[in-house]
Amino acid sequence: MSGYLIFFDFETGGLEPTKPEIQLASVVVDPQFVEVAHFETKIAFDKTKADPKALEMNHYTDEAWVNAPHAMDVVRKFAAFCERYKSVEMVSKRTGKPYNVGRLAGHNAATFDAPRLRRMFDTEGCFMPFHPIPLDTLQLALWKFQFMEKKPENFQLSTLCQFFGVDTTGAHDALTDVRLSAALTKAIVSMK
């Protein structure tokens, strides 16, 4: 692996795209999968638009979210946090000049988390400083196990982590889940 990986995860008020994002977390790992930085924030949201069961599963309490920042502040803070970990060089189609973006990674990031992150940045009118295609541990696992006889029961993050002996205590908290995704990636990549 070259450069930093920015693992990220949303916790949400339900699985549907219309349900609100309630928490965003990230860990940055170096090429040896050593965590070098982390980010976590609750996100202010309209509780009436969330599924109560999803809130319960994601450890929501009124007290924990009392001072949660709004999406605009979250977007700015997350972009600032990732600034020093941009390790993918791109070339501007408009100017032809090179610039760097961050390499996002996560479990089910390509179809769940990345579209939500893009929508958040677009809604707030901010440039999203990340490569448009995240690395996805779900896809990595699907490819890896396609050619193996022994397979996990399913490809949920917790199930895959348990398959590889990664402790899943605290799952469904965004910061815990990004750490699980990083540990899972290291386990799959190291697998013989």
Give pLDDT tens digits for 93-134. Answer: 999 999 999 999 999 999 999 999 999 999 999 999 999 999
pLDDT tens digits, one per residue of 37-74: 999 999 999 999 999 999 999 999 999 999 999 999 99
Contacts by 45-54, CB closer than 8 A, 24 or more apart: 45/13, 45/20, 45/21, 46/20, 47/13, 49/13, 49/18, 49/19, 49/20, 50/12, 50/13, 50/14, 50/19, 50/20, 50/22, 51/13, 51/14, 51/19, 54/12, 54/13, 54/14, 54/15, 54/19
CA gap 65, 120 in Å, rounded: 19
Residue 174's SS3 state is: helix
What architecture does CATH give domain 5-190? 2-Layer Sandwich (3.30)
Residue 171: its pLDDT value, please? 85
Mean pLDDT of the chain: 95
Question: Taking 80 as the threshold, does the pLDDT of residue 2 lie above it?
Answer: no
In this prediction, residue 191 has a pLDDT band, given cuts at 50, 70 and 90, of: confident
Question: Taking 90 as the threshold, does the pLDDT of residue 170 lie above it?
Answer: no
Domain boundaries, the chain: 5-190
Residue 76: its pLDDT value, please? 96
DSSP labels for 35-96?
A: EEEEEEEE----GGGS-HHHHHHTT--TTTTTTPPPHHHHHHHHHHHHGGG--EEEE-TTT-
